[in-house]
């Protein structure tokens, strides 16, 4: 295989949706969106993450968002928990109808440049760990 170095540009494109509670002691499984249903970069992986979606440009779409939020709503509803999910003002992050346990709270426009809730080192650390593990090879489940 190819040698993995930090200088080598990756051709792998993924969009990740990360979520955690305010204290950080509960983290949602990352939602991974890639370009392919069966990505070559995961060729030797035993199983794809539980939360994996695909579309032609690896972007979060309203459909992917809605499916993910409905799955979380079911989970929180079974646990008898009411949850507010704070999101940026991206049109994709809409409020699907008939949610039982989740309320989507959108930040006002132009605020996310100053207030990224997961930007207090969490996203940076996640990317660092992801790149480190990607360079080790994909011989284990990444879920």
Structural contact between residues 56 and 35, judged by C-beta atoms closer than 8 angstroms: yes
* 3-class secondary-structure state, position 54: strand
Does residue 68 or residue 131 have the better pLDDT? 68
pLDDT class of 49 with cuts at 50, 70, 90: low
Mean pLDDT confidence for 61-72: 95
Structural contact between residues 12 and 58, judged by C-beta atoms closer than 8 angstroms: no
Kindly report which listed range (35-49, 81-95, 102-116) carries the lowest average pLDDT score.
35-49
pTM: 0.74
Mean pLDDT confidence for 15-38: 85
d(CA 83, CA 37): 30
Q: Give the β-pairing of 52-54 and 102-106.
A: unpaired
Distances, alpha carbon 9 to alpha carbons 6, 26, 35, 126, 132, in Å: 8, 33, 17, 18, 14
Does residue 61 or residue 127 have the better pLDDT? 61
* 3-class secondary-structure state, position 97: coil
User: Does residue 138 carry a pLDDT above 50?
Assistant: no
d(CA 20, CA 23): 8
d(CA 113, CA 116): 7
HSE, side-chain direction, 13 A CA sphere, residue 28: 21
């Amino acid at each position: 295989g190819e040698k993995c170095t930090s200088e080598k540009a990756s051709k792998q494109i993924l969009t990740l949706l990360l979520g955690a509670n305010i204290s950080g002691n509960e983290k949602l499984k990352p939602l991974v969106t890639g370009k392919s249903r069966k990505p070559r970069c995961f060729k030797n992986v035993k199983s794809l993450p539980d939360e994996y979606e695909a579309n032609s440009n690896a972007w979060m779409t309203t459909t992917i968002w809605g499916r993910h939020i409905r799955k979380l709503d079911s989970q929180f509803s079974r646990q008898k928990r009411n949850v507010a999910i704070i999101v940026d003002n991206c049109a994709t992050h809409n409020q699907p109808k008939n949610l039982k346990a989740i309320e989507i709270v959108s930040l006002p426009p132009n605020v996310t440049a100053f207030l990224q809730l997961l930007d207090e080192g969490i996203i940076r650390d996640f990317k660092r760990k992801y790149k480190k593990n990607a360079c080790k090879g994909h011989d284990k489940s990444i879920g």
